[in-house]
Chain A
Amino acid sequence: MDNVLIARSLFGTTMAFHIIFATIGVGLPLMILTAELIYQKTKNYEYVVMAKRWTKAFAVLLGVGIPTGTIAGVQLSLLWPGFMEVIGRVMPLPFQIEIYAFFIEALFMSIYVYAAERISPWLRVLSLILVALGALASAVLITNVHAFQGTPAGFRYENGQIVDIDPWAAFFNPGFAVTALHVAVSAYVVGAFIVASVSAFKMLRNEYGSRLYRFHQKALMISLVMGGIFSFLTAINGHAAAQYLHEYQPEKLAAAEGLFETQSHAPLAIGGFTDRETQEVKWGIEIPWALSFLAGNSFDTVVVGLNDFPEELWPPLFIHTLFNVMVFIGTFLILIALLGIAWKWILKKEQWPKFFLWILVLSGPLAIVAIECGWIFACTGRQPWVIYRILKTADAATSATNLGAISILFFSVYIILGIAVVSVLLYYFRKNTVLDDFERAENKGIPLYGSNS
């Protein structure tokens, strides 16, 4: 394998691993905050027990999210020094400001967990809000660098030289708002459906009508409402994201849709595989005119096809599949959230059908799959550019040659961490059952958060 390919695989794997923990790290604090607020309002301690258990899970996940993020941040300079040189000069602000967001998250997370019993309720809520805001801000800011890679701004590129640098114009590059919003709302989708998965699984494991069944059902309802709202927002905003691709990175949209000829009234291809030889999408379903409408809100919109670009600048064609999977999961999640809410609140049923609960168990992993597909689509769909039409990936890569062995070490560490984190979570929640936490919450003398930490 050549050096650049190894660097791409290594960095892609790091990101694909980090993003699992990072996304949950953004999404879960909002769920914790919601539970904590419901508790402050209702004083029903079941909600504080939820908040505590989710916080513990969050703290464990941070133990992997933070070091893998640190790896990501440093690897950017180690593997793509050419890229970071440009970023350092033109786009340093997001990384810089992100540090403050990390600090806020780290400080108040420690305060919320390790001083929970020493601070007043409103300070607890405030700490949580700051944790949630810190996590959100770090996601938005790092995404801004990614947005800049797609829509570079704030400098002029002349004869291979970067001149006229305006770091704030780079910060507010055209892709920022839509991309950051998409990442933020999709992270809340993940946070909600991860909780839904676990709650649904626990409902399957506990007898209908038992105290635990009802406890998990409460958690499930919170997550379905949150999940429903945010997956709806994700879809709306995803539509805007596609329109922005149409405007700024037409070859990415063309590859995502398997469109070769530039045309108005362009069809939308769903599913199937793009065939480079015959220039068509095989085994897909075609909806006439739909792509033009999606791209520009009118059937007359001319959508640019791949043939308008030299073939060596085409993104890989498999991104069509990644895009489809993301959109399919997004639609599916909206539907099951609506179905679940209707079941409980409109049909007023207490008992949940087993097969539906099993579908809900799948919802969390599906949301993660959507995140992975979305990111690999966005990063791989930018190829061969690392900064769109400015810098090629191959030119940004390190010239070091011993990357193979290093990659194997990193992959092994990710496997070790992955196995360890799952084992620790299973161990902890098996040892500290919901009933144990109920007891701690009922007896005022025993600390709930401090227990076993």
Chain B
Amino acid sequence: MKTADDTQPLWRRRRLPAFGRLATLLGASIVVTAFVVAIFAPYLTPYDPFAQDLNLRLVPPVWMESSHAAHLLGTDQIGRDYLSRLIYGTRISLLIGVLTVITSGLIGVTIGIVGGFYGGRVDALVMFLITCRLSIPLILVALTVVALVGSSLTVVILTLGLLLWERFAVVARTTTMQVRNLDYIAAAQAAGASRAHVLVREVLPNIASHLVVVATLEMALAILLEAALSFLGLGVPQPLPSWGLMIAEAKEYMFFSPWVIVTPGVALFILVLGINLLGDGLRDMLRTDLRHRGW
């Protein structure tokens, strides 16, 4: 059953129910907006996110009493403009999300494809690696690594990248197993293609759409984990405007001015929700696509 729609790229196909389409669209626009905000942060921020003004500490956001029109979302405990810090925080979250996913994706996809393609003892080893990774307490190990190696953006990215590969590996392995016996793989091998060529040029493109869905899930997870690590004081170092770190710094003041913890948390929530909505939409599109092909 091939329809005209099959020739369209994934995102142009219109088989999702109206509700799902709307949700996916919402997710996509949140993610795109976040990237635009991150890239153009210097042009969007009203103030320098690191500039302190000790005369204007803990100014509440505009919708509350005794606020300043100049500081839309108020200021933090040392008088830094909250909106500017939130905008720059988008950069940190997206940087963490994207770079972690690239690192963990490279590791997980390699392990998964190799295990799924070769099977047997190689696959047993791959399964063993995945089991070991799953049994390690994620946050605890990440905290320990950052504590010992020192906190910096690079350390957090590498630590999370080295820890979050197992879902990539699991999905790459299962999907590779599904495609490895298909005709075009045999055809490529018969034509004399090298193993590397078969894995990278034949298998990988055919499982890529599944991996994109995993990438969105892992990106959301990485962003939440960075926030949690920074919140516990062992993630991104001060004075960087990481949203998790902003919540940690504001914690002392939350009993008197609860909004200080609300705004960075809402920013985190919206970004992660956007990524998840997008991922869910992609997965549903993929599912209808697969059902269509008779899988």
The answer to whether A and B belong to the same complex is no
